[in-house]
Structures are given as structure tokens and as C-alpha cells.
Structure 1
Amino acid sequence: MSVAGVDRALAALACLAGLLGVALSAAAAHIPGADSLKTAAQFLLFHAPAILALIGFGTAGLARIGLARTASGLLVLGLILFCGDLSVRTWLQRPLFPMAAPTGGVVLMGGWLVGILCALVPVRRTV
């Protein structure tokens, strides 16, 4: 995959997270006691714009693109694990796999940590 393709893929995954967040919000509104589904929807909706912003900063040269992609990738992976586990538990009454949600939560925190580095580590400028 090309460099631009990676950014496009991450942006598409961010938009997919937003779409799924809206869909899970609607589903949770119709399922009594679906608090886990509401949580998954909120996480998807909160993280989708963050992923788009990180990729945007990286491609605009406002942040190191490698850090931006790493942070974005960690956020996507964390969402898959965390929200995937909460959703599977709601609908199938079993976990995605043992410790999937806690692992996803730790990966999400790692993504935010790399996002901090993305904001604080200066971009290399060539003159």
C-alpha cells in the first residue's frame, strides 16, 4: 500500500467508526439494558474525529506523519478490540476473546499517549 493509501485507509476506518457509532447508538436506544452498546457507540464517536485530526495534522505537515499514523493505528486497533468485545457481548452473550476489552482500552490509551508525542515532538523542517 502506498503512503497516501495508508492515510486514506486510516481516514476510511475513522469514518467507519463514526458510522458504526451512530448505528450502535440507534440500536442501543431500542435494546433495554444495552449500556455496553451505548459505551461502545460513544467510544467510536469520540475517537473517529481524533483519528481524522491526527491524519490531517500529519499530512498537512503540522505533526510527524509517522507518529500521527502510529497514534491513529493504535486508536483503530483499540476501538476494534474494545468496542468489538462490548458489541459481541451484547449480541452473542460471549466475549470476543478473553481480555479483549481491557486490552483494547490499554491500546487506546497507548494511542492517546502517542498522540501527545505527535503534538509535542517538533516536525523536522528542511531549509
Structure 2
Amino acid sequence: MNSTASIRSLILFLAGLLGCAGVALAAAATHGADAHYFGAASTMCLAHAPALLAVYAGYDRFRTAPAAGLVLGLGTLLFGGDLIYRHFHDTGLFPLAAPIGGFAMMAGWILAALGAFLPVRR
């Protein structure tokens, strides 16, 4: 498997993982877990999982797809992971983990937007 196929597969994997996590976190928030942390993490996961599916589907149509997908997916994992870790440990993964994840998600969206202006390499 070449690196392009590997990155594309990783983006699809992250989409599925985030979608599943989003549903599980929403259920946990509804059934007694901390709705503040679990609800916020669920929202981010459920918002970004379909975005990653779109990146996966349009992977060959815009040049920034690999970077946008990876940054969106990893940023969402970091943001959501920090919120869930806080619930169980009363501290974050590391200082500024959630804000770094949030900025990464924003950067991923900017990368996706830039794809509109960068021609696809043939």
C-alpha cells in the first residue's frame, strides 16, 4: 500500500472511529456521565466524522485533502480525548491539549477551504 492509500485509509478509519465515539459519548452524556465534557466531545466527534467522510470521498479532487483530513481527525481526537480524560482524572492530557486540538480542527477546515484554490495535481 503506498503512502497516498495509507493516508486515505487512515482518514476513513478516523471518520468511523469519531462517528462511533460521538454516538457513545452522546449516550454517556444522556445516561449520567458529565454532560458538559461528554456532550462537547460528542458534538465535536459527530461534526467532524462526516467531514472526514467527505474528505475521503473527494480525496482525489482537492489537493489539500490529505493534510485537511489528518489535521481535522487528529485535532478532534486530541480535543475530545482531553475532555474525556478531564472527566476521569480532573486534569487534562497535558497543558493546553484541548485548545491545541481546537486550533488543529480550525486549521483542518482552513486547509479544506484552501483546496478550492489549489489545482489538483494530475
Structure 1 segments (4+ residues) deviating >3 Å:
none
Question: Which residue pairs with 1:12 in the alignment?
Answer: 13
| Structure 2 residue corresponding to 1:109, chosen from 93, 97, 106 | 106
Structure 2 unaligned spans of 5+: none
Q: Which runs of 5+ in 1 are unaligned?
A: none
TM-superposed deviation, 1:94? 1.6
CA shift, 1:35, in A, is 1.2
* % identical aligned pairs: 43
Does 5-14 or 18-27 show the bigger shift?
A: 5-14
- Preserved CA contact (<8 Å) 2:48 2:72: yes
- Identify if the C-alpha distance between structure 1 residues 32 and 123 changes in structure 2 by more than 3 Å, giving closer, same or farther: closer
Q: CA RMSD in A?
A: 1.5
Aligned partners of 1:4 and 1:91: how far apart in 2? 36
- Output the TM-score relative to the length of structure 2: 0.91
Within-5 A mapping of 1:49-68: 49-58=50-59, 61-64=60-63, 67-68=64-65
For 1:30-69, what aligned pairs fall within 5 Å after superposition? Answer: 30-31=31-32, 33-58=34-59, 61-64=60-63, 67-69=64-66
Corresponding residue number in structure 2 for 1:122? 119
Match of 2:83 in 1: 86
Of structures 1 and 2, the larger Rg is shown by: 1
Normalised to the residue count of structure 1, the TM-score between the two structures is 0.87
Structure 1 position 124, deviation (Å): 3.8
